[in-house]
A and B are shown apart, each in its own frame.
Chain A
Amino acid sequence: MPDYPVTVPHMSERTEYQFSPETLETARRIIQRYPEGKQKSALIPLLHLAQAEFDGWLSPGAMDYVASLLGLQPIEAYEVASFYSMFNLKPVGTCVLEVCRTSSCWLMGAEDVVRHIEKKLGITAGQTTSDGMFTLKTVECLGSCGTAPMLQCGADFYENLTLEKVDSLIDKLKSDGRRKVYTRDEPITI
């Protein structure tokens, strides 16, 4: 469940929602995994594709588009998107830093990591930097308890974090400048 209230975002730069031919092909392949008439099963995987392709978040337009691909009512996409924490229902930065805050990461210093990033970027958790480069989120257990503390950015896990490693990661992400999404893995080494 998202940490923020589910409201219709007031800003949306896109007016057109259309997957690229390659993404459309991926979507078709995914839909075929489910039996005839059960294409709704593809909703979550397709919302992932939409979030990756449409600027890292799901605007109502993006969700309507996914619903139309699957022959669903828009509300079916909204209610699902608002349930799962990986879907962003408001605009996010180019790189979303998701710091695990649960249990072992907590014991091993997740708070220090969060405070360090907040100080370095001049934002608090939940906010986006004014240049639109970084959004900082705190998230629940990501299954890296043995390599705590950790953060996720796009598909990549950054583990056994030290404050120096965090600095180096942020610098590299900044100089790289590309959007990091779950659906593609392009690891940045630190």
Chain B
Amino acid sequence: MAKKLLLEYDHVPGISTLDVYRRHGGYASLNKALKDLTPAQVLEEVKTSGLRGRGGAGFPTGMKWGFLARPEGVPRYLVCNADESEPGTFKDRYLMERIPHLLIEGMVLSSYALGANTSYIYIRGEYYYVARILERAIAEAYEAGLLGKNIFNSGFDHDCYVHVGAGAYICGEETALLESLEGKRGNPRIKPPFPAVAGLYGCPTVVNNVETIAAVVPIVRDGGAAYAGIGVGKSTGTKLISASGHINRPGVYEIELGVPVEEFIFSDLYCGGMRNGKKLKAVVAGGSSVPVLPADLILKTAAGEPRLMTYESLADGGFASGTMLGSGGFIVMDEDTSIVKNLWNFTRFYHHESCGQCSPCREGTGWMEKILHKILDGHGTLADVDLLWDIQSKIEGKTICPLGDAAAWPVASAIRHFRKEFEEYVTRPASIRDVKHYYRLHSMAEA
């Protein structure tokens, strides 16, 4: 059985309460850190662990913390990114809903390492009920002296607050999130300066994903080296994967990084194979933004090696034949799925969610949506497929934030790996009608 570090007790009744959480070892890491470790030692453990940001970018967390500016007399902030909005991703919601204290313990621990006396959990507005679960847990923690003044008699003071957003995918981008937290529209900032120097209210700030912050708890408990001992190469520790789509057992799975993709899809420990005995057609392995891969390339790399659930193995082959681990939003599609139509769905999403600051993204996402709509309406031409390719190539890398890239990659990969399907749709429109779930695009688009 795979080792679990975050979800070991997720099915224990009452684990969302402080009492039960503590009976299962909760807040022992915090106690240990505040009593026996200096902030610099906690930071060192995180560096040793090799933990990488679990929100999607996979940037080493210890290094990110190391960048934090520490000018005298200026407050520092930790902000938790709980804006989980990447289509296909629902792990943070699961973790916060089931074990809210794991996040709160991680918040205090991380803040101790960073020297932050105030932290905010920015949670997407649609998760309002989860925000209330967190607020209840925070109230319990205050009552027990785990938040507030002089925690565990260490002299360390910390306040943690929940802040709800109001529905905007872009606020998952860290600088847009900070803008939103300051009460503004979620327009990403131009970097530099990076948040580590000028973040929330212009103060040095670290923004980390829910799962990243939660992972600090087992890292401090067992030591960074033990954490680094799990996984493969630079993909250390465990990762929460949100599995969805045409599989038998959708849900959140904590895996040790390095599980073969084939095992993840077909083993009864995880996805349990394809639903209704259908064949696997394609997988989006890390949330809607990452390149889609056809069955053969997701199971094996172009070189014929088994593909593993690690940052490196999934990226093997670059974008020509690989993808990304991203946020771990693992969307599985069966043989009846229309790649073109699914792409239209994604592209409509990015058009809807573009903040509108940069022209390539604001305009380009709309053009791509329109062209895909035209193709699905049976009026596409071969030139439209080339035009799609051209537009995506002119969005990628040309915007302030990565939303532009995220909108371009699905289009590029769908055309790269499934060009035949596009060609079929434009040369033989009748084939579109054979696709399951082809209904009124218009009202869905305009609603």
Contact = CB atoms under 8 A, between A and B. Distances in A.
Interface in B63-117: 75, 84-90, 92-93
A70 B182 CA distance: 13
Interface in A47-87: 47-48, 70, 76, 79-80, 83-87
Contact of B242 (A80, A87, A146): A146
Interface stretch (B35-43, B120-128, B149-157): B120-128
Contacts of B124: 143
A149 B277 CA distance: 20
A177 B274 CA distance: 41
A144 B90 contact: yes
B87 A145 contact: yes
Interface string B243-268: 11110001110000000000000000
Contact of A103 (B88, B120, B183): B88
Interface stretch (B2-10, B160-168, B230-238): B160-168
B310 interface: no
A44 B165 CA distance: 7
Interface string A133-177: 000111111111111100010011100000000000000000000
A35 interface: yes
Given A115-B440, A138-B444, A142-B126, A44 B250 contact: no
> Most chain-B Cβ atoms within 10 A of its Cβ — which of A111, A115, A143, A156?
A143
B166 A48 contact: yes
A1 interface: yes
B331 A107 contact: yes
Nearest to A110: B444
Interface string A98-115: 000111101111011011
Interface string B276-288: 0000000010001
A139 B349 CA distance: 9
A144 B84 CA distance: 11
Interface string A24-40: 00000000010100101
Interface string B344-369: 01100100110110000000000000
Contacts of B331: 103-104, 107, 145
A129 interface: no
Contact of B337 (A38, A84, A107, A141): A107
Contacts of B437: 106, 109, 111-112
Q: How big is chain B's contact interface, by range? A: 35 or more
A44 B183 contact: yes
A25 B443 CA distance: 42
A152 B86 CA distance: 17
A124 B90 contact: no
Given A45-B163, A45-B164, A111-B444, A140 B87 contact: yes
Given A3-B446, A143-B126, A145-B250, A103 B346 contact: yes
A137 B183 contact: no
B439 A85 contact: no
Given A111-B439, A140-B352, A143-B126, A126 B446 contact: yes
A115 B125 CA distance: 26
Contact of A83 (B168, B201, B440): B168
Given A141-B87, A145-B244, A85 B166 contact: yes
A12 interface: no
Contact of B349 (A38, A83, A141): A141
Nearest to A181: B128
Interface in B141-177: 161, 163-169
Contact of A87 (B166, B243, B288, B342): B166
A139 B333 CA distance: 21
B164 A124 contact: no
A84 B125 contact: yes
B1 interface: no
Contacts of B443: 114, 118, 124-125
Contacts of B414: none
A102 B345 contact: yes
Nearest to A82: B185
Nearest to A109: B437
Given A43-B183, A85-B166, A140-B353, A106 B125 contact: no
A86 to B, nearest CB: 4
A47 to B, nearest CB: 7
Nearest to A84: B166
A169 to B, nearest CB: 16
A42 B161 CA distance: 12
Nearest to A72: B183
Interface in B186-201: 186, 201
Contact of A107 (B132, B161, B245, B444): B245
A41 B163 contact: yes
A103 B447 contact: no
A138 B186 contact: no
Nearest to A182: B128
Nearest to A104: B244
A56 B120 CA distance: 27
24 contacts: A1-B352, A1-B355, A33-B161, A35-B118, A38-B182, A40-B183, A48-B125, A83-B185, A84-B167, A84-B168, A86-B166, A102-B349, A103-B345, A103-B349, A104-B244, A104-B245, A104-B331, A106-B342, A107-B246, A112-B437, A114-B444, A124-B443, A136-B447, A146-B242
Given A111-B437, A145-B329, A183-B128, 17 more contacts: A1-B168, A3-B352, A40-B182, A41-B182, A48-B125, A79-B185, A80-B184, A84-B125, A85-B167, A86-B125, A106-B437, A114-B447, A125-B446, A141-B87, A145-B88, A146-B243, A146-B244
The 4 closest A-B pairs by CB, nearest first: A125-B447, A84-B166, A85-B167, A40-B183
